[in-house]
Structure 1
């Protein structure tokens, strides 16, 4: 469909400089990025996790800025018809579309004007995360801790989805809100459950925050329940946004993306400065998922030690207990932050080593060069394993990663056999359990190859 769309609750005016950058189709311009993210949100509800295929299937789609005397509009050409009902764009999709515009404009203007900003400075990176979240109005001063980050697979079966929805329902009954990666599967389920619970409790300010990044949004388009969408510049800032704005984490069964999130979280919680910081973490699933979490727990203990395993609790098939644990965790977080005079809305005290903040660009060279050996602190082992999983995510669902694998073959991963062999075994289980791609995807071809010893 073709449509002229007005702003919905977000960015309504742009400078001439911003308009020109968004129209710029050269390599340094923002047109391609904006088009990609806009197309992704217009495909809300579509079951796909192949960003490259999505872009190619809508090659004739275009989006143009139309200046108006009172602001601006977006002209959409050959937009997906399912984004409309009776010729009118769905309101949630319209909100998401202008959230994309807001964040792309902001994240490409704010660093350029910040005095003394350095892209490799930890404090500056955290400041960027803060400013993007504040600009998106995610940070609410005065609100008690109530945001539960839910991580898990986009490629899950019906029963696992229903369990994630019941967890969200139990959280919502206790007045808690949800942050996820905003996509389908275990990212949608908790939000859907929470909306029903919030309605039962007459909670009208329930929050369903979706945090994504340009490389992943095409593979995990925002689900329709998300009422606050934020686009972070890269996966590292996306992960930092989760742990800075959220007050606790629930992990459902998932694949390599979930493993990446787990290793990021444990890597930063292992920092000595975070030893006394309350941050509730629960791994949960149905009784059929018990073996999955035994596998995850065994992998973590082997790679990072028992100290890392002490940072989380595994609760099987008990949604009420999961929610009660999180509710108590919220109280502990609130008590701690009041005592330390720290903000409820942004976890300033959390220490994040720069190795977890600097963007990792998965290429054949960078994947082969990963330092997967034991002659380093546990948090650095976690950081390098996270990068390995991040590369596999890119090869599975991100446009650039898929293209690299098609052109040069699978990414190669090498390292200490005591780390690599358990990694390979876990990846094989992810493939066997259909956790690499959406259900129904046939003939999954691994985008990686385990090649044994270090390079």
Structure 2
């Protein structure tokens, strides 16, 4: 017997963006309306639907499209500016027939970023994406176009962590965010639920208590992730980077410090990305506060992460971070002190407050990694390599698992060809397998449903 088809209420609407998306060129509109295989329309539709279903409990990127199969979006340029037509849009994004203002702002951000990417990073791009400096300039251009680069005193804390975390861990992220907010610090996350929402939620209360009027809750995502991790409703500045590597570089370029809460493979990927960069000789003396933290129940999680890092990357990598358990106020104090040192360093080096130009990010951390079965099997996960080079391949391994878990392209590859095979030195693979098994047992891989591994770890 077939399952009954679930139909959810929908709305047709016409909205007019204001501020930051006043006009588009004919070329930009044509790209966004192009429904061919090389066009942007399907990507626009997927990202827009993710925004309109903000707050969804699912981390399956296909779920929203199955619930709203007839949804469509059209972008038109008129004499008086841009018009967006929504057809069969989720009613949850509307109140009494009017789209929720915050949802509308995020929707405009989707159109803005995809239009910019289609032109500025397309075939006729002015950026040289074959060089490290060219990629960094492209990241800067995207962030500037999104209007989140402000020449104010350093106060932006990037918070990393998983979308699938326990209740105690979520409450702790809110407490830590509250303490950060009391100290006037703004929050940037991956924009989704769980550890990406908690710090923002805590900071909103603290900012209100401190009567902080100009607040930034920045969410940075990318097309492959946004459908699985829809923006949480607190995000007031959304940026969609074209791929995971540019997303990660955006985080570390705008961050004045980073806090890592409990998470899964995506969080491990982020940690390895940052440590791989900080381990380079050029970045040795660069102040970059990095704190790993969670409630007492998370202590074993961070112990295992710490052991894995020491085994693979060595003691020098472990010296770049501090682990604080069960004390959100101490985390906030340490972060505020660390950001003060960042401010002093950048003044001395005549570097900008709003974009960390001094940080050297090599190409192996910038070039997009496509996690095919062949690419995953070819990763060089062996001792004897330079730590930053090993970190780059470890990051790619975790990135591939993220793709197999929640990205449509990765999920299709797993369905067609089975799990990815990951090879390496025996002790390293044993530690990796133990870490991944712990993620599965602690339900850090998926929000709902039984998790089926998309990988095999082989010595």
1:268 to 268, 277, 285: 277
1:360-392 per-residue CA deviation (whole Å, 9 max, x = no partner) reads 011111111111111310111111011010010
Kindly indicate whether the alpha-carbon contact (under 8 Å) linking 1:8 and 1:94 is maintained by their aligned counterparts in 2: no
1:203-258 per-residue CA deviation (whole Å, 9 max, x = no partner) reads 00111000000000000111110111000010000000000001000000100000
Cα separation, 2, equivalents of 1:38 and 1:373: 42
Cα separation, 1, equivalents of 2:154 and 2:258: 13
1:158 aligns with 2:144: no
**TM-score, normalised on structure 2?**
0.96
2:404 to 395, 401, 409: 395
Counterparts in 2 of 1:329-344, with a 5 A limit?
A: 329-344=338-353
Counterparts in 2 of 1:352-363, with a 5 A limit?
A: 352-363=361-372
Kindly indicate whether the alpha-carbon contact (under 8 Å) linking 2:180 and 2:186 is maintained by their aligned counterparts in 1: yes
Cα separation, 1, equivalents of 2:285 and 2:86: 51
Cα separation, 1, equivalents of 2:226 and 2:346: 33
Cα separation, 1, equivalents of 2:302 and 2:24: 48
Cα separation, 2, equivalents of 1:219 and 1:114: 29
1:181 aligns with 2:182: no
Cα separation, 2, equivalents of 1:66 and 1:235: 29
**Higher mean C-alpha displacement, 45-54 vs 288-297:** 45-54
Runs of at least 5 residues in structure 1 that lack an aligned partner in the other structure: none
Cα separation, 2, equivalents of 1:335 and 1:388: 36
2:449 to 406, 431, 442: 442
**Structure 1 counterpart of 2:102:** 92
Counterparts in 2 of 1:3-152, with a 5 A limit?
A: 3-112=13-122, 113-115=124-126, 117-141=127-151, 143-152=152-161
DSSP-derived class of the 1:109 partner: helix
Cα separation, 2, equivalents of 1:161 and 1:259: 18
Kindly indicate whether the alpha-carbon contact (under 8 Å) linking 1:371 and 1:384 is maintained by their aligned counterparts in 2: yes
DSSP-derived class of the 2:89 partner: coil
State the 1:53 CA deviation. 2.9
**Structure 1 counterpart of 2:324:** 315
Cα separation, 2, equivalents of 1:403 and 1:111: 26
Cα separation, 1, equivalents of 2:118 and 2:30: 13
**Structure 1 counterpart of 2:373:** 364
2:422 to 413, 419, 427: 413
State the 1:114 CA deviation. 4.5
Aligned length: 448
Kindly indicate whether the alpha-carbon contact (under 8 Å) linking 1:9 and 1:95 is maintained by their aligned counterparts in 2: no
State the 1:11 CA deviation. 1.1
Cα separation, 1, equivalents of 2:189 and 2:390: 25
**Higher mean C-alpha displacement, 20-29 vs 170-179:** 20-29
Runs of at least 5 residues in structure 2 that lack an aligned partner in the other structure: 1-10
**Structure 2 counterpart of 1:253:** 262
1:125-165 per-residue CA deviation (whole Å, 9 max, x = no partner) reads 00000010011111001x11100000001001211111000
Kindly indicate whether the alpha-carbon contact (under 8 Å) linking 2:186 and 2:217 is maintained by their aligned counterparts in 1: yes
DSSP-derived class of the 1:133 partner: helix
State the 1:396 CA deviation. 0.6
Cα separation, 2, equivalents of 1:65 and 1:334: 42
**Higher mean C-alpha displacement, 192-201 vs 24-33:** 24-33
**Structure 2 counterpart of 1:279:** 288
Cα separation, 2, equivalents of 1:111 and 1:444: 36
DSSP-derived class of the 1:267 partner: helix
Kindly indicate whether the alpha-carbon contact (under 8 Å) linking 2:159 and 2:199 is maintained by their aligned counterparts in 1: yes
**Structure 1 counterpart of 2:6:** none
Kindly indicate whether the alpha-carbon contact (under 8 Å) linking 1:43 and 1:82 is maintained by their aligned counterparts in 2: yes
Kindly indicate whether the alpha-carbon contact (under 8 Å) linking 1:413 and 1:449 is maintained by their aligned counterparts in 2: yes
Kindly indicate whether the alpha-carbon contact (under 8 Å) linking 2:29 and 2:115 is maintained by their aligned counterparts in 1: no
Superposed CA RMSD in Å reads: 1.0
1:21-41 per-residue CA deviation (whole Å, 9 max, x = no partner) reads 111111111111111111111
State the 1:59 CA deviation. 2.0
Counterparts in 2 of 1:158-237, with a 5 A limit?
A: 158-237=167-246
Q: Where has structure 1 moved over 6 Å in runs of 4 or more?
A: none
